[in-house]
Amino acid sequence: MNTTAHAFPATGFSAFLFDMDGTILTSILATERVWSGWMRGHGLDVAALLPTIHGMRAIDTMRRLAVPGMDPEAEARRLLQLEMEDVGGIEPIRGAPDFLASLPRDRWAVVTSAPKALALRRMAAAGLTAPPVMVTAEDVSRGKPAPDCFLLGAKRLGVAPEACLIFEDAPAGIAAAEAAGARVMVVTATHDDKSGAGHAAIEDYESIAATSDAAGALHVLSRA
């Protein structure tokens, strides 16, 4: 059942920005398989650390873990290769394909912490068509929760960040969206973190629709 933590924004938006994992597709099974194997290989506590990886760039997680003797850049490249090879169980969030297809191609972007090659691989595995504008891990020097990626996404679409609605699921991404000055729609399909409290929320895309008004602004409406 779809849930709304806060009323849908009545204002119109110039563009929509979407995180990828957990927001328009789910790759949790593949991600956690790869990361679990990597953590066990380094003698790390999988149960304690696995919940902390979501929504952030792999390189930032590697640096935060600071495993003695580990080269974060080299390990991030190794992990990327493993993730490229494992796309089992990757699926779109329910209703996402139709919702994204209903949007003007020049009015939305994917803004993800994944490297571009992995983002394209996962979107293809989920049956989603990548938009012309994507912001990926390589495009910013500071990953989420810094707002840089969303600021860049808005810039590439030629709109102000405060005129964007950002669809996110993870705490780091929600914090980045807030820091960018944008409105947030929290997607709870894969988990419902309390960091999204106070924002509008949807479980998936089946009960919402996108429309545009006479001025061309985009709106999200409930089908209920």
Q: Which residues of the chain form beta strands (DSSP E)?
A: 15-18, 25-26, 91-92, 108-111, 134-135, 164-168, 183-187, 200-202, 208-212, 218-222
> How many Å separate Cα 46 from the centre of its chain?
23
Catalytic residue among 21, 60, 86, 169: 21
For the chain, the farthest-separated pair of C-alpha atoms sits apart, in whole angstroms, at: 59
Judge whether 115 and 138 are in contact, CB under 8 Å: yes
Judge whether 153 and 109 are in contact, CB under 8 Å: yes
**Number of other residues whose CB lies within 10 A of the CB of residue 134:** 20
Query: Which two tokens mark 214?
Result: 């006479």
169 an active-site residue?
Answer: no
19 an active-site residue?
Answer: yes
Catalytic residue among 19, 60, 86, 169: 19
Query: Which two tokens mark 122?
Result: 């996962």
User: Buried b / exposed e across 183-213, counting CB within 10 Å, b at 16+?
Assistant: bbbbbbbbeebebbeebbbbbbbebbebeee
**Residue 16 bridge partners (DSSP):** 108, 165
What residues act catalytically?
19, 21
